[in-house]
Amino acid sequence: MATGNLTEAVHILLSITAFLGNTLILVVLHKETSLHPPSKLLYRCLATTDLLVGLVNQPLYATFLISCTLRNWSVFRFTYDGVYITSHVLCGVSLFSLTAISVDRLLALLLGLRYKRIVTLKRIYSILALFWVASLVSAPFYILNHRISTWYSSIAVSSCLVISIASYKKIFCALRHHQAQVQDHVQQQPGQPNALNMARYRKAVHSALWVQLALVFCYFPYFIVAIVISESSPYPPYLLEVIREIAVVLVYFNSTLNPFLYCWKISEVRQAVKRTIRQELCCPWT
């Protein structure tokens, strides 16, 4: 009982931090004008899914745990379905959005001056709408036909990972090639515009990559535990259940972690967060 109460308290705490942190990020991104609008929209979509995790999905999961403890089976069934459907939708959109961010960073490198003309706000809205529709349509299959849901999830996750890995591999190969050219032929001064643009681009790529790696780090243990549980395992069921709950907490922690990553790795967001908090608190920062 004590372990269950602790787990529920952790989920409630993480739901609050995820909601507050991502609300702040959405407010800041709405005000921030220095970021390219289509790229900013992708981060806003990602922050929205994390906010909904804290507002909807994680409270449902905490209620699910409480219903298990109290043996309230009607609430248990409702929250069980709700948790898995909302998880499917929000995780799907998050993964699609991160993949789109990796492709967006690659296009920024490959297209050069044509990037802002081709990667427009209208097109990104259309792509994000497609992500939401695909995730919403596929979510009920978890209840209606679990095999279809499993196949869809496997194909979607594998495709997104392959696209992201290929995009970042292409990006870093191009960056190494550019660095070699600069060292061998260009001899630019650090303050020249091209050098500054490339430095800013590197920071944007590293920021996106950190967010993507954080998702992989937080989700990967859960998939490993799920595979172990699905197979015949010599480990005691109680131990596996405890490990599974730790893995679930780590998955939810990703929604709380992302706002800190934005502030740490994206200087424009960090400065905007400082300004927003300073305005709200009405006290100057030194």
Report the pLDDT value the prediction gives residue 71, as an integer from 0 to 100: 83
Secondary-structure percent of the chain, ordered helix, strand, coil, rounded to 5: 90, 0, 10
Distance CA 44, CA 25 (A): 8
* DSSP-assigned letters across all residues of 225-273: HHHHHHS--SS-HHHHHHHHHHHHHHHHHHHHHHHHHHHHH-HHHHHHH
The DSSP secondary-structure symbol of 260 reads H
Tens digit of pLDDT for each residue in 245-262? 999 999 999 999 999 999
**Cα→Cα distances 13→54, 62, 91, 250, 273, Å:** 9, 10, 20, 13, 22
The DSSP secondary-structure symbol of 71 reads T
In the block, tokens 């920021």 appear at 207
Closest to 110 measured CA to CA, from 155, 175, 164: 175
Per the CB < 8 A criterion, the answer to whether 160 and 95 are in contact is yes
Per the CB < 8 A criterion, the answer to whether 83 and 61 are in contact is yes
Report the pLDDT value the prediction gives residue 193, as an integer from 0 to 100: 47
Report the pLDDT value the prediction gives residue 40, as an integer from 0 to 100: 93
Greatest alpha-carbon pair distance for the chain in Å reads 72
Distance CA 49, CA 254 (A): 11
Per-residue pLDDT of the chain (286 residues; tens, 9 = 90+): 455 578 888 999 999 999 999 999 999 998 888 888 999 999 999 999 999 999 999 999 999 988 888 888 888 888 988 998 999 999 999 999 999 999 999 999 998 889 989 999 999 999 999 999 999 998 888 777 878 878 888 899 999 999 999 999 999 998 888 777 766 554 545 544 455 578 888 899 999 999 999 999 999 998 888 877 767 666 677 777 888 899 999 999 999 999 999 999 988 899 888 888 888 776 554 4
Number of H helices, E strands in the chain: 11, 0
The DSSP secondary-structure symbol of 62 reads H
Report the pLDDT value the prediction gives residue 286, as an integer from 0 to 100: 44
Report the pLDDT value the prediction gives residue 235, as an integer from 0 to 100: 66
Per the CB < 8 A criterion, the answer to whether 109 and 171 are in contact is yes
* DSSP-assigned letters across all residues of 74-131: HHHHHHHHHHHHHHHHHHHHHHHHHHHHHHHHHHHHHHGGGHHHHS-HHHHHHHHHHH
Sign of dihedral through CA atoms 208, 112, 120, 152? negative
Distance CA 246, CA 47 (A): 23
pTM of the model: 0.88
Residue type, 97: S
